[in-house]
Chain A
């Protein structure tokens, strides 16, 4: 008579002997099994489309025949000969730098304020929560809301008129002089919470002993800020600035919804150019070429930044 134990052993042995090869393979390479779905998805929906864009950018695409013939760098040459394209590049840099400047200034200022040790923690938490709200809004919702504020009979024009800054209502989104500034404001409004939160957490990681030591040495508030705080948070500031620049550079939604390139071409940025070129004007091949140019620009910017960060000694501690 087999005891319970012996029966169990026999069952396990039988099970192991009949474990299919597949099961054992999966078990031994379990890590790869786990990452497989994600990798497959990313290869299919990120890598492949990207390679497809590359291929399109060096081809001539005829929609009716769905044919792609290799034409080398013709599309790129065509792009650089388009004066609109060059204006677009300039606009995009203005837009990105403007958004970065405003949102960084706001974010930094708010982070410093929220880091004050004199305020109660509840007050700081609630304030921080409220100040993060703009980040939650979609570009569409922000566009709609700000359009109301920018309305000729809206709030901002009321201030402008009563304060005498303007004599007639300013068409913020239709006036070539104001359009770029207006969209920069809207995007900065959406963007500053991210910078604020990142800088705040970086500020909070500065050890208090440094401030104590500075006080003992009789440092003034300004001294403390420029000599202690700023160098310590500089890496984070640089990193998030880079991220913000890239994000504003590639941002499509707001321009499309609010100004569609602006009066004339004043607010046309790179992504919108790609969209228009691909779907309205010149075709997918030129549009893809424009995307590739944009990608290469951002890539080189990131490489330059990474090089500066590691070798150039912008990281904390290497610059003293």
Chain B
């Protein structure tokens, strides 16, 4: 279909076919170099990290840094904290957010346009503006250095996004579906759970992935609301290395790879949904 039309439009030529592909491959190589370098450095023996000329592939592969990471409970604690925080943020944002989105989408709410505009403006607010008040408020409540504080702080920017994305997604689902379910005797809530949710699943996955990634990579609120490794996510551990006296490059590359691996796997599995989440963020 498209191929025949394109044949009629332009002549197939070497430049049109090979050149874009070559450029793309070059860009991939250059732009993903940091990623490759990070992973490869983590499995290189220490002496090979700064060779001249720099060699990309290691001659010997050693996983000793990963062994060190997994044996040190300190870093495992950071890692576990990240999972906990990101998991809760995703769960809370999705539940509260999709319920709210359902309400905005299906019910006449006075001032809904204003509220939705407000959530939009909220997203444009730089998080730094909330740094000082959060520090004071959470200290006053006595939630300093707890999971709760970090989770709530992260929800402040994931929730508006989830509401926006789910509302636009739910708007595309016809109301006939749940009306049919209710005619058959289901309550609103049951209709929501059994009929709407399965249909809205892709949107949920996209919004959830976005929330998870946002919370996992978050640094600022976690830094200000925690001390030590008790409740801090892994981004804090990575940033620590910059203030350390001794730098073991292979060690920190291993930590960095460990920190990024869950997101990369998530992305490989859910690529289309994650991209949908990205694009929904700017659709107004």
Contacts and interface: CB of A to CB of B under 8 A. Distances in A.
Contact of A144 (B6, B52, B136, B238): B238
A47 to B, nearest CB: 8
Interface stretch (A2-10, A26-34, A77-85): A26-34
B27 A284 contact: no
A56 B106 CA distance: 39
B183 interface: no
Contacts of A119: 17, 20-21, 24
B256 A136 contact: no
B41 A31 contact: no
B132 A288 contact: yes
Contacts of B245: none
Interface in A209-266: 211-212, 215, 239-240, 243, 246, 249-253, 256-258
B238 A140 contact: yes
Interface string A31-73: 1111101110110011011101100100000000000000000
A146 B34 contact: yes
Interface in A107-136: 110, 113-114, 116-119, 123, 127-136
B279 A215 contact: no
B92 to A, nearest CB: 9
Nearest to A271: B128
A141 B260 contact: yes
A137 interface: yes
A314 interface: no
Given A53-B129, A116-B20, A138-B219, A148 B249 contact: yes
Given A138-B217, A148-B38, A288-B132, A30 B188 contact: yes
B186 to A, nearest CB: 14
B122 interface: yes
B207 to A, nearest CB: 13
A149 interface: yes
Interface stretch (A14-22, A152-160, A175-183): A152-160
B100 A38 contact: yes
Nearest to B160: A42
Nearest to A38: B100
Contacts of B33: 149, 155
Interface of B is mostly: helix
Interface residues of B, number: 96
A143 interface: yes
Interface string B178-221: 00000000001000000000000000000000000100111110
Interface stretch (B57-65, B66-74, B107-115): B107-115
B54 interface: yes
B31 A257 contact: no
A193 B97 CA distance: 26
A277 B163 CA distance: 34
A288 to B, nearest CB: 6
Given A38-B163, A113-B20, A257-B242, A249 B126 contact: yes
Contact of A294 (B25, B126, B188, B275): B126
Interface string B222-236: 011000000000011
Given A131-B27, A257-B242, A53 B34 contact: no
Given A50-B129, A246-B126, A137 B260 contact: yes
A31 B108 contact: yes
A76 interface: no
B100 A136 contact: no
Given A140-B238, A246-B126, A41 B260 contact: no
Contacts of A38: 96-97, 99-100, 159, 163
Contacts of B156: 42, 45-46
Nearest to A140: B238
Contacts of B10: 215
A250 B34 contact: no
Interface string A145-169: 1111101011100100010000000
Contacts of B253: 144-145, 148
B267 interface: yes
Given A34-B107, A278-B131, A284 B37 contact: no
> Which residue, B8, B156, B241, B242, has most C-beta atoms of chain A within 10 A?
B242
B31 A42 contact: no
B34 A142 contact: yes
B275 A132 contact: yes
Given A119-B20, A119-B21, A141 B238 contact: yes
Given A143-B238, A294-B129, 18 more contacts: A39-B100, A46-B122, A53-B130, A116-B16, A118-B12, A130-B32, A131-B27, A136-B213, A139-B235, A147-B242, A153-B50, A158-B54, A197-B279, A250-B127, A251-B126, A252-B220, A253-B219, A257-B238
17 contacts: A35-B100, A37-B96, A42-B118, A42-B156, A114-B24, A117-B2, A123-B24, A136-B263, A137-B35, A139-B217, A141-B217, A143-B239, A198-B278, A252-B220, A256-B239, A291-B129, A295-B125
